[in-house]
Structure 1
């Protein structure tokens, strides 16, 4: 291990950032722990280009932790719609309430206390502490893991606990000695991994730019840049089929709230069947009676069956998740009359009011088409 690199890393990185780091991002230079927290959670699994648009919008809707804590979860999910990984939105809401109840509306500066809040892991806690409070706390997101694995030729996969523990140790050793340097250092670390030491096209292999660490980087010196960190071969994503009922009465759609721990947890979607391993395309509509009994277990299927007309085939929608693919067959059903749902997780929603609800992106696009056709306003 290079002691020279450990002692000079932060200084070289900060100097690099002054020349080549990103600037002008709406969350940069902000010491408000609430804004830092929201941006960090939003950036976890969302592209920067998307966050550039959605972060200001979210902050305008919920400008303070108090506003977010007081909001209804449906409002939060509706604002989060399209960003994916909806557990982040649920955790944001729950965390905001924790901050109000346990810390009188003030985020703690101690990373250990931050890590105890809902949805905040060790790396995010370090980022909040570093940016908002200048605490000497390390971060270790995917970009930083890649940087350290290459610089110090760390063998093994990132999924290995021993490897992660080793990387955390390195992340601690290379911190700046001055607390006031923590915000720029932490931003520089993020920028370097996102723009220079990238997974597939790091600048050291392009020859266009000179990496400030090329003389120290063990991966570069041993021609292992693309081999580190070691990758795990991913299995092919499984594919599933499900049926969804698009039940309409007048200008209203029947929506069902999904269980909080399910995929799209807490969002409002169409009543659906269980997911089954993908087979050949189905051309026969499911039995409406059996579907209603399965999809609406808390309702009286006979009442709904009497109110609904025959099922007609609708579009098939494919949606790609991180670890699976889902084929949704939509079946159109017109209700002769509006049935008052017995379950609180089921409701009729006018097309003009769909924008108030958090909807899965593919369902939102489907219903947006209906809204445009009728002249109702389902906004993006």
Structure 2
């Protein structure tokens, strides 16, 4: 391991950032830990271009941690919709309440304490501590893992605990000696991985720019840049079917609140059946109603939903699975009063107040246009 590279890494990276790093992003140069925290959570698994649009809107709606903590979870999910991975929004809300109730509305500066808050992992805790409090705390997100694995030709898969432990130790060793350098250093690490040392087209292979670590990067010197970090072979994503009930009455649609720990947890969606493997047989209309609605209401609905039929199928791709949603639609002359508190009739022009999964939002948006509703402010993903 090159002692020279370790000693010079932070200085060279900061110098690179002054020349080629990103600037002008709305969450940069922030000392407010709340603003830093929101941006870090939002940027997880979401493209910067999307966050550029949504971050200012979220901060305007919930400008302080106390405002976020006092908000209804449905409000937070509706504002988050379109960003995906909804556990992040639920954790944001829970974490805000922790900060208010346990820390009197002030984020702790110690990364160890930050990591104990809901939804904040070790790397996010390090980022908040570095940006907001100038703490000498390392980060190790996917970009940083890739940088370090290439620079030091780190063997082994990132899924292995021993590999991650070694990378954490490296990340800690490479920190700048001056606390005041922590914000720019941390931002430089993020930017370098996102724009130069990218997964598929790093600049050292394109020749468009000269990497500042060209002569020290072990992966480059051995002509193995794209082989680091080493990856496990991914299995083919499994595919599933489910049936969804699209019941309409006038200008309203029946929605169901999803369990908090399920896919799209806490969002409002169409009542749906259990997921089944693609090879499993489908459901009849009677089976679907009996599966998704309270038992005491299915018999009357079977008569009212004589025109219930499958209208279309929608394919949605998750990170690790694929789902085919088969939509069964029917119009009711008179809406029934659901006995389940998680079922609710919602007017099409009020859907903007509810967090909706992206494919369901798109489906209902088409319906809204037909019926003259307004979904312009509706949330999605």
TM-score by length of 2: 0.97
Displacement, 1:280?
Answer: 9.2
What residue is the counterpart of 2:185 in the other structure? Answer: 185
Q: 1:299 to 1:32 in 2, by over 3 A?
A: farther
Query: How far apart, CA to CA, are the structure 1 residues paired with 2:10 and 2:136?
Result: 12
Partner of 1:362 in structure 2?
A: 359
Q: Say whether residues 1:371 and 2:368 are aligned partners.
A: yes
Q: How is 1:121-140 mapped onto 2 (pairs within 5 angstroms)?
A: 121-140=121-140
> Does structure 1 residue 326 correspond to structure 2 residue 323?
yes
The answer for the alignment partner of 1:342 in structure 2 is 339
Question: Which string of whole-angstrom CA distances, capped at 9 and with x for unpartnered residues, describes residues 178-199 of structure 1?
Answer: 0000000000000000000001
Q: Distance in 1 between matches of 2:292 and 2:369?
A: 28
How far is the alpha carbon of 1:80 from its aligned partner? 1.0
Mapped partners of 2:358, 2:297: distance in 1? 29
Return the alpha-carbon distance in structure 2 between the equivalents of residues 261 and 337 of structure 1: 33
Partner residue of 1:233? 233
Q: Residue 294 of structure 2 contacts residue 340 of structure 2 at CA under 8 Å; is this kept in 1?
A: no
Q: Any unmatched runs of 5+ in structure 2?
A: none
**In 2, Cα distance between equivalents of 1:292 and 1:373:** 25
The 3-state SS of whatever aligns with 1:156 is coil
Distance apart, 1:262 and its partner CA: 0.6
Residue of structure 2 equivalent to 1:296: 293
Secondary structure (helix, strand or coil) at the match of 1:172 reads helix
CA RMSD in angstroms, aligned pairs only = 1.3
- CA deviation digits over 1:40-99, x for unaligned, max 9? 001010011111111111111111111111111111111111111100000000000100
Pair 1:170 & 2:167 matched = no
Match of 2:70 in 1: 70
Q: Report what 2:118 is aligned to.
A: 118
- Structure 1 gap segments, 5+ residues each: none
Q: 2:312 aligns with which of 311, 315, 319?
A: 315
Per-residue displacement from partner, 1:238-294 (whole Å, max 9, x unpaired)? 111111110001111000011111101111000111111114996xxx433322221
Write the mapping of 1:179-328 to structure 2, written as runs, cut at 5 A: 179-279=179-279, 286-297=283-294, 300-328=297-325
Contact 1:241 1:279 in 2 (8 A): no
When normalised by structure 1's length, the TM-score is: 0.97
Q: Is the 8 A contact 2:294 2:339 kept in 1?
A: no
Deviation at 1:297, TM superposition (A): 4.0
8 Å contact kept, 1:134–1:181 = yes
